[in-house]
């Protein structure tokens, strides 16, 4: 018995906390004549192999909620944007770095330490300042810039108290000195939709918009466009945002498999939701 898909809806939008992005996607689909099924994944049992829409747009903010929603729909034969594989490859930064590096892309010097002992060892080889982050977590959470040994010891002790092996794992990276900003590029269906700088807020070394960073659009050069498309392919994502650090050239750093794009639209004037809706039509017509 092969998986089946058959539903009164052609398209589904799965979400946990509805944001402006989800509203824009639904409106863009409606503008093209598609009425999507709206599925709040926190309230909805997700049944393997039950009939499902042809295309499922996976939007939960929580990484595992997104990945699991996608995985269940894939068991029904639906096309998921993004696939559970891509969501997990983006959501777990050890996997992201592995896939980016395997594709020949340049990443910051990075070490994985599975225990506090190993982290102390790794710290010596990377030197200060360094960046320490766990594999999972978004919006810059727990991503730490470490400048002195006392602070690092304290950080290591704190992480050791966490329960999950993922949060006990350290990704330790050289600190890439950037011009006070990082670069975010959105890729859809092997095409770059645009690029923006995120300028860090004073008193904050991270450039997450959630942490007060300012977004300004710019036209990406050819090299940047090319490596971002390669990055999207490396993690098998059809609709992703790619985070790039500039220093002496570009470093690929993170990829987001359930991309936010409110600030991106404001900065670049590119109607990302409309692009996504057009892509859905293209998939439906295949």
Q: How do 130-133 and 110-113 pair as beta strands? A: unpaired
Is residue 224 within 8 A of residue 185, CB to CB? The reply is yes
DSSP 33: T
Select from 27-35, 143-151, 224-232, 265-273 the region that touches a second copy (CB under 8 A). 143-151
Token duo for residue 15: 């979400």
- Rank residues 172 and 228 by Cβ distance to a second copy and give the closer one: 172
Select from 25-33, 135-143, 179-187, 214-222 the region that touches a second copy (CB under 8 A). 135-143
3-state secondary structure of 215: strand
Q: Does 165 bind a second copy (CB under 8 A)?
A: yes
Is residue 89 within 8 A of residue 70, CB to CB? The reply is no
Which positions from 77 through 116 interact with a second copy, judged by CB under 8 A? 77, 84-85, 88, 94-95, 97-98, 101-102, 104, 106-107, 109-115
Nearest approach, Cβ of residue 15 and a second copy (Å): 12
Tell me how crowded residue 160 is: count the other CB atoms within 10 A of its CB.
12
Token duo for residue 84: 């559970």
Q: Does 235 bind a second copy (CB under 8 A)?
A: no
- The torsion of the CA quartet 98, 236, 140, 69, rounded to 10 degrees, works out to -120
Q: Does 148 bind a second copy (CB under 8 A)?
A: yes
- Rank residues 59 and 270 by Cβ distance to a second copy and give the closer one: 59
Which positions from 201 through 220 interact with a second copy, judged by CB under 8 A? 203-205
Nearest approach, Cβ of residue 140 and a second copy (Å): 9
Nearest approach, Cβ of residue 170 and a second copy (Å): 9
Residues pairing with 183 in the sheet:
197, 244
Nearest approach, Cβ of residue 31 and a second copy (Å): 30
3-state secondary structure of 40: strand
Q: Give phi and psi for 193, each to the nearest 5.
A: -85, -20
Candidates 36, 53, 135, 220; binder of a second copy (CB under 8 A) is 135
- Rank residues 65 and 184 by Cβ distance to a second copy and give the closer one: 65
Nearest approach, Cβ of residue 234 and a second copy (Å): 11
Which positions from 26 through 85 interact with a second copy, judged by CB under 8 A? 41-49, 62-65, 67-69, 71-72, 74-75, 77, 84-85
Q: Does 223 bind a second copy (CB under 8 A)?
A: no
- Rank residues 21 and 92 by Cβ distance to a second copy and give the closer one: 92
Q: Does 265 bind a second copy (CB under 8 A)?
A: no
Report d(CA 58, CA 14) in Å as an integer: 5
Residues pairing with 171 in the sheet:
112, 133
Report d(CA 240, CA 67) in Å as an integer: 14
């Amino acid at each position: 018995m092969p998986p089946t898909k058959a539903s009164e809806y052609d398209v589904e939008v799965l979400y946990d906390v509805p944001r402006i992005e989800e509203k824009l996607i639904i409106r863009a689909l409606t503008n093209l004549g598609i009425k999507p099924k709206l599925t709040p994944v926190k309230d909805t049992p997700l049944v393997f192999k039950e009939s499902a829409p042809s295309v499922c747009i996976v939007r939960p903010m929580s990484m595992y909620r997104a990945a699991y929603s996608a995985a269940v729909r894939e068991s029904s034969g639906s096309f998921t944007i993004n696939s559970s594989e891509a969501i997990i490859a983006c959501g777990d930064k050890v996997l992201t770095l592995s896939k980016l590096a395997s594709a020949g892309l340049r990443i910051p010097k990075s070490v994985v330490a599975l225990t506090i002992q190993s982290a102390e060892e790794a710290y010596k080889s990377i030197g200060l300042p360094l960046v320490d982050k766990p594999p999972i977590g978004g919006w810059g959470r727990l991503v730490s810039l470490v400048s002195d040994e006392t602070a690092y010891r304290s950080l290591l002790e704190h992480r050791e108290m966490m329960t999950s092996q993922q949060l006990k794992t350290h990704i330790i990276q050289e600190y890439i000195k950037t011009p006070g900003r990082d670069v975010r590029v959105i890729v859809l269906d092997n095409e770059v939709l645009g690029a923006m700088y995120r300028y860090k807020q004073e008193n904050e070394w991270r450039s997450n918009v959630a942490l007060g960073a300012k977004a300004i659009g710019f036209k990406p050069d050819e090299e940047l466009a090319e490596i971002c498309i390669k990055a999207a392919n490396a993690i098998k994502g059809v609709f992703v945002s790619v985070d790039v650090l500039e220093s002496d050239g570009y470093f690929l750093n993170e990829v987001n498999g359930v991309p936010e794009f409110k600030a991106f639209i404001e900065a670049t004037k590119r109607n990302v939701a409309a692009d996504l809706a057009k892509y859905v039509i293209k998939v439906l017509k295949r």
